[in-house]
Structure 1
Amino acid sequence: MTRQSAMGPAGCFLLALAAWGGAAGREPVCSCCPGPVRAGSSVAGFCAARSDLVLWGRCCFRGDTERGLIVGLDLSNCSLSAPCAGFQAASTTAVIDLTENPLQESIPNTTFRGFTRLQSISLPLPLECPGGSMAWDTVTIRGDSRICQGQRNPCNGSGELACLCPESSLCAPDGPGLFQCLCAGSSHGYKCLREGAFPMLLFYGTLGAVTTSLALLAWGTQRRKAKSS
């Protein structure tokens, strides 16, 4: 799967908002399953091996639990039929355990979009690795679990994916088996066809004018309703 992006200042602004939203949604994914990280899970072993990592709920953090990054997520034995709400908040994680869950036969690849740091995921045996087995260095069967390790960079290798990106753009990984095309240099816009600096004044001026107009329209409408009532 592909995604093309024009990463001008506006794109960076939207990504910053998304990152803030991810941090705000961190707590639900860590507590969507009751109890702490299970002692026998891959996340428990990963977190115990590093002195700079701390456990909270079902998550393992680098740094404190308020401002740190989620690097491990244990949702094993949680009676889940699908990844719980707020799953995208764990996109910074390196290890995920989803074993012992009645998950659907396949989880959409887009569920793991942005999980570029994921290096190990343990799944119920019926599930395939996100992005397919070719998206991982090794796939191991252990009892009733499938363990996918070593996420591969889809932009490396044959270069076929990089060729799918338009000119003036670069292929960049975007999760297991996923990639995106990022505009290079001063290119921006649809398929990175525009050159030069992004028109910040025009963009933010237009955005401000539209926002102000909508606010005035809403205020005027509510005032008329108040007078007529």
Structure 2
Amino acid sequence: MAPGGLPRLAGLARWAAALLLALGVARAPALPEVCVRCPGSVRRWSRVALFCERTPARSLRARCCLDPEGAVLGLDLQNCSLKDLGPDFPQAHTAVIIDLQANPLQGDLASTFRGFTQLQTLVLPQDVRCPGGINAWDTVTSYTDNQICQGQRNLCNTTGHLEMCPENGVCVPDGPGLMQCVCADGFHGYKCMRQGWFSLLTFFGILGSTTLSVSVLLWGTQRRKAETS
């Protein structure tokens, strides 16, 4: 090899490594704000860390366990001095496990977890009630310093809740102790009474033509007033 060849090769290797690193950072999904709700990172011994490390494709970033697409699978906000979970908390609606112990949380958390249909393990301060109550979970275990709600139940599978939906509606879970009725395929409108697909093209066509007609009428009226004044 010619003199100076090795240094040039080493320089090219460093340049290539830096380029690959830059491309990797550019492709990395943005970190959700809920992951930096409080300083620090997930501790290696925590339940969220142990859950995340079971699958190599998952990654720990700040206070979150993320999947390769950047969705939140685990959230560890323990010991963050939180009285409420903040407006960014719904970003964690895809989480399977959430740890909120050692926080002075206040109020009822039921509506806070609306949409958290994937949640299976929730760790709370010992004096905070599991959202939805004990009937929303398979097990609720109390310890001296925390309470663990495990196994979110699908209330749509229980007798009685199915009757809450209209004849053409379907019950779907909407978080711990929560559910909602959605219209079955091919139905829409009040109590899912109307059959057939709702045509957005027709709706916006009528809305657009009506808006145009009213605008032309108002323009003509204002012009006549200006000519007579």
Normalised TM-score (structure 1): 0.75
Report 1 or 2 for greater relative contact order, CA contacts < 8 Å, sequence distance ≥ 6.
1
Mapped partners of 1:142, 1:156: distance in 2: 30
Mapped partners of 1:210, 1:34: distance in 2: 53
Residue in structure 2 matched with residue 193 of structure 1 by the alignment: 193
Moved over 6 A (4+): 209-213
Task: Indicate how the Cα distance of structure 1 residues 79 and 211 shifts in structure 2: closer, same or farther if over 3 A, else same.
Answer: farther
Q: 1:38 is aligned with what amino acid?
A: R
Residues 1-229 of structure 1: matches in 2 within 5 Å? 27-63=32-68, 67-107=69-109, 109-157=110-158, 159-206=159-206
Percent of residue pairs bearing the same amino acid type: 51
Task: Indicate how the Cα distance of structure 1 residues 205 and 37 shifts in structure 2: closer, same or farther if over 3 A, else same.
Answer: farther
The structure with the largest alpha-carbon Rg is 2
Contact 2:139 2:149 in 1 (8 A): yes
Question: How far 1:201 moved relative to its partner?
Answer: 1.1
Q: 1:182 is aligned with what amino acid?
A: V
Residue in structure 2 matched with residue 18 of structure 1 by the alignment: none
Mapped partners of 1:35, 1:211: distance in 2: 53
**1:146-180 deviation line (CA, Å, top 9, x unaligned):** 000000001012x2111001110111111001001
Contact 2:124 2:147 in 1 (8 A): yes
Question: How far 1:202 moved relative to its partner?
Answer: 2.0
Q: 1:156 is aligned with what amino acid?
A: N
Contact 2:30 2:70 in 1 (8 A): no
Task: Indicate how the Cα distance of structure 1 residues 145 and 208 shifts in structure 2: closer, same or farther if over 3 A, else same.
Answer: farther
Contact 1:120 1:147 in 2 (8 A): yes
**1:188-215 deviation line (CA, Å, top 9, x unaligned):** 01211111121221233356668989xx
What secondary structure does 2:201 align onto? helix
Task: Indicate how the Cα distance of structure 1 residues 207 and 77 shifts in structure 2: closer, same or farther if over 3 A, else same.
Answer: farther
Mapped partners of 1:210, 1:82: distance in 2: 46
Task: Indicate how the Cα distance of structure 1 residues 71 and 207 shifts in structure 2: closer, same or farther if over 3 A, else same.
Answer: farther
Question: How far 1:116 moved relative to its partner?
Answer: 0.4
Q: 2:52 is aligned with what amino acid?
A: C
What secondary structure does 2:111 align onto? helix
What secondary structure does 1:137 align onto? strand
Mapped partners of 1:25, 1:87: distance in 2: 16
Question: How far 1:105 moved relative to its partner?
Answer: 4.8
CA RMSD across the alignment: 2.5
What secondary structure does 1:43 align onto? helix
